Amino acid sequence: IENNFPNRKVEGLPFEKLTEIIEKEKIPCAKCGKCNWTPVRKFNQLVEVKIGVLEEGKDLAYLRGEIAQGLFLNFKNVINSMRVKIPFGIAQQGKAYRNEITMGQFTHRTFEFDLMEFEYFIRPETWKNVFEMWRDEMWKWALSLGIEEKSLRWREHEAFERSHYSKKTMDIEYKYPFGWKEMWGIAYRTDFDLTNHMKNSGVDMRYTDPDTGDKFIPHVIEPTFGLSRLTGITIFNGYFEDNKRTLLKLNPKIAPYKVAVFPLLANKEKLVNKANVIYEILKKDFVVAWDDRGNIGKRYFSQDEIGTPWCVTVDFQTLDDETVTVRDRDTTKQERVSVDKLLSYFQNRI
């Protein structure tokens, strides 16, 4: 449905309603073009695995669909060992797995993906202010990565969309070439997780305020960042083509290489030696590429394609006055910079 109507939100609708929409809109199969569907059925998104040495003795298990529960299991360890005071957070980055019915759309829907999740533990009466604080931080971070603001928006989940543990959920959506889709999300999980862990394990998950002695189960605000999706989005956001070159316009902070160093000519020993000296100096502070193949124009375009913000060219003038040519990826403008000022030149721009 969403492939045919990108702006229509159907996640969480009752199965009968989904079947009704498919029949009413006569949505065709993407492969055969026919509209001959079975009624909508339930699928398990958790990936089943069998664990055990002997085939007949294997136990059924599931790969995790989120990484949050490991953080909740370690809640008591953290407060006992680190003596933290509320509000505080526990963050984790790791793999998650989902049995997606339709995988594709680059890194948007995949079987295996990377998540970054943050469980922020708070007093229940503060949740609205903390929720808004994290919304603001997530938005600012997205912009700091170079994602265009016009391609981002907030969307709040309706009641039928929200997960069973959430009292409020909002997504930052990105405008892909195939429509608005979720990039990151934030949820108010209340005390659902800690309460259920306490109920089923018998372990007291209450937090004791060191100042007042008050005992309570903390509530949780959960910002979630899709790292795999973010990787795809930075490419969508920064990829440009014209009749001269292909350009990956990445924020210098996240560019794989910050600088590329070229000798103007690879068969001139003095140029190569000087370029090597500059390369060794710069690589102590930055991830630096080296390229001495082909003509200088092709080398520039090669670095443009992988998002390198600046190229340093060592030419014959360098041997005379200790200056190099620095070319900017986005504007292609060039300027002469003293070798002894190169480090500060790039440090001030990253």
Going along the chain from its start, the domains and CATH numbers come out as 1-41 (no CATH), 43-237 (3.30.930.10), 259-347 (3.40.50.800)
Average pLDDT score over residue span 335-345: 95
Average pLDDT score over residue span 119-129: 96
pLDDT attached to residue 26: 82
Question: How distant, in Å, are the alpha carbons of 124, 287, 346 from that of 252?
Answer: 40, 11, 10
pLDDT band at 173 (very low <50, low <70, confident <90, very high): very high
70-89 pLDDT tens trace: 888 889 999 989 888 999 99
Write down the pTM of the prediction. 0.77
H-type alpha helices, 67-122: 68-73, 75-82
Beta bridge partners of 311: 260, 327
Average pLDDT score over residue span 130-154: 95
The token pair at 278 is 């500059």
Dihedral sign computed on CA atoms, order 152, 154, 160, 166: positive
Answer for the pair 168, 18: CB distance below 8 angstroms, yes or no: no
Contacts of 149 (CB under 8 A, 6+ apart): 143
> What is the spatial distance between Cα 277 and Cα 289, in angstroms, rounded to a whole number?
13
**Cβ of 271: how many Cβ atoms within 10 Å?**
21
What's the residue count for the chain? 350
Answer for the pair 133, 242: CB distance below 8 angstroms, yes or no: no
pLDDT attached to residue 2: 67
Q: Are strands 259-263 and 310-314 parallel, antiparallel or unpaired?
A: parallel
pLDDT band at 101 (very low <50, low <70, confident <90, very high): low
Residue 69: pLDDT over 90: no
